[in-house]
Amino acid sequence: MLHRLKQLSRSKFARNVAVVATGTAGAQAITMAFAPVITRLYGPEAFGLLGTFMAILGVLTPIAALTYPIAIVLPKSDTDAKNVAKLSALVALIVTTITAAVLLAAGGCIADALSLGAVAGFLLLIPLAMLFSAFQQIFTQWLIRKKQFRITAKVAVLQAFIMNSAKAGAGWFHPVGAVLIVIAVAGQALHALLLWTGIRSKEAALPGNDESTGTLRELANRHKDFPLYRAPQIALNALTQGLPVLVLAGYFGPAAAGFFALTRSVLAAPAALVGQSVGSVFYPKAVDLYDKPAELKRVLIKATYSLIALGGLVFAPVLIAGPWLFSLVFGSEWKEAGEFARWVAVWMVFALAARPVISAIPVLGLQKVFLVFEIIFLPLKFLSLYLGVFLNGPAISVALYSVISSAFYVLLFLLVCKKMAGLSSKA
């Protein structure tokens, strides 16, 4: 055991994961420290309004830069990577301008048609949030490419402290959902600005002495599988993750939506702590190991099984005593959120374990298949939620949705393993 721990401590991969995880852990610790105060200031209805807004934003954000930022890690040439970043920024400016024009012309009609009247007054903030999010993705992917994980870790901690301080401070004077929405949009801008500052301070954005292998148009065509397949896949995934908030708000009221929004936010924190850290480090490693599919498969399976075990350990208290824990930490009015949490915890275990798999998908050329998976599972998740509506039980909706979401990640893992086995046989 000691020998294995020594080997792990010498592993560059493990050290990089530890750096990113430390930053994410710090950010999540800050968020959790503020949570008992913030939940007592704002209440379930305010969180329901924020959750509805973020669900809409989550669907539209992938469209902003058409997921071209994810391709920044792939080119061998730094110059090409920087040009992909420029392409991403240009696409984001065009798409968000079009989105703003559409919302200016028909935002009210769209809100009425989709029964989103509660957030109709905040729709014009969406293009701004989309643009800030796109630049955040561009800067993050560049830092991942340059393996500047310490910068992303420091930014995560600083951004979490500033934003949670703003929520708590504003909540003492005006504890309404509108405040949470405005702060969330400002948080996107702040995160992008802090990442940019970190890049410039380390001069990580300067390309090497290599040459470009294509124009912006050629690079856009070379990585066209991202806008064609990955952007719709992420948008559909965001839609399916936002569906519970929208359905619960529409059929059971804003309080039920607020219960789910808080539950997902709290339980996603430990999942993000390790999942994003492993994913960020695994992605460039998968690129390096593409020509060694057997080794890539070994690393992916080991990482996945380890994350399942870790997830089971982390979420066990919620599975056992969710309602009691939520009442204790957030206040008695959040007890029902603890019932939701028991099922969401199961979903989060599999979502955490799937991070290496999702990171390997663009490397293995499975973007189209990933999109097909999302299309197949979208109606299944939709029906699971509405079965709960039919049975007049919000907890039933959450439970069925969580089970279907877990099955999605299991099947995705099997598909990626099959793809790598095929590559190994050809090697």
* pLDDT value for 96: 94
* pLDDT value for 406: 92
Tens digits of pLDDT across the chain (427 residues): 444 435 444 556 556 666 666 766 777 778 878 888 888 888 788 888 888 888 888 888 878 888 889 889 888 888 888 999 999 999 999 999 999 999 888 877 877 766 666 677 788 899 999 999 999 999 999 988 887 878 888 888 898 899 989 999 988 888 888 899 999 999 999 999 999 988 887 654 444 556 667 788 888 888 888 888 888 878 887 777 778 887 887 778 778 888 888 888 788 777 766 666 676 667 777 777 777 878 888 888 888 888 888 888 888 888 888 888 888 888 778 888 888 889 999 999 998 888 888 888 888 888 888 888 888 888 898 898 888 888 878 888 889 999 999 999 999 898 888 887 776 666 5
* pLDDT value for 243: 81
For the chain, the domains span: 32-223, 245-427
What whole-number distance in Å separates Cα of residue 45 and Cα of residue 34?
18
Using a 10 angstrom Cβ sphere, with 0-12 exposed, 13-18 middle and 19 or more buried, the burial of residue 393 is middle
pTM (predicted TM-score): 0.68
Contacts of 180 (CB under 8 A, 6+ apart): 42, 46, 47, 49, 50, 167
